[in-house]
Structure 1
Amino acid sequence: MGLTALRLAGAISALLFGMAPHPGQVTRARETPSPVQFLNEMATRSAFWLVRPGRELVEQPVVFLGSEGETGVVARDLGAFLWLLADGFGPWEAATLYEPEPDWAPQVNRDLAAIAEQFAPDRRASAAAIIAQATQEFPDFDDTIMKLCR
Structure 2
Amino acid sequence: MGFIADMMLGRLTRWLRLYGYDTLYGIEDDDEILQVALAENRVLLTRDSDLAGRARRLGVKVILLDSNSFEGQVGELKKHGIEFRELLPSNARCPKCNGLIQPVSKDEVRGKVPGGVYQKYDEFYICQNCGQIYWPGRQWREMLKIDEKLRRV
Name the structure with the higher strand share: 2
Q: Which has the higher contact order (CA 8 A, sep 6+)?
A: 2
Superposition TM-score, scaled by structure 1 size: 0.30
Superposition TM-score, scaled by structure 2 size: 0.29
Q: Name the larger-Rg structure.
A: 2
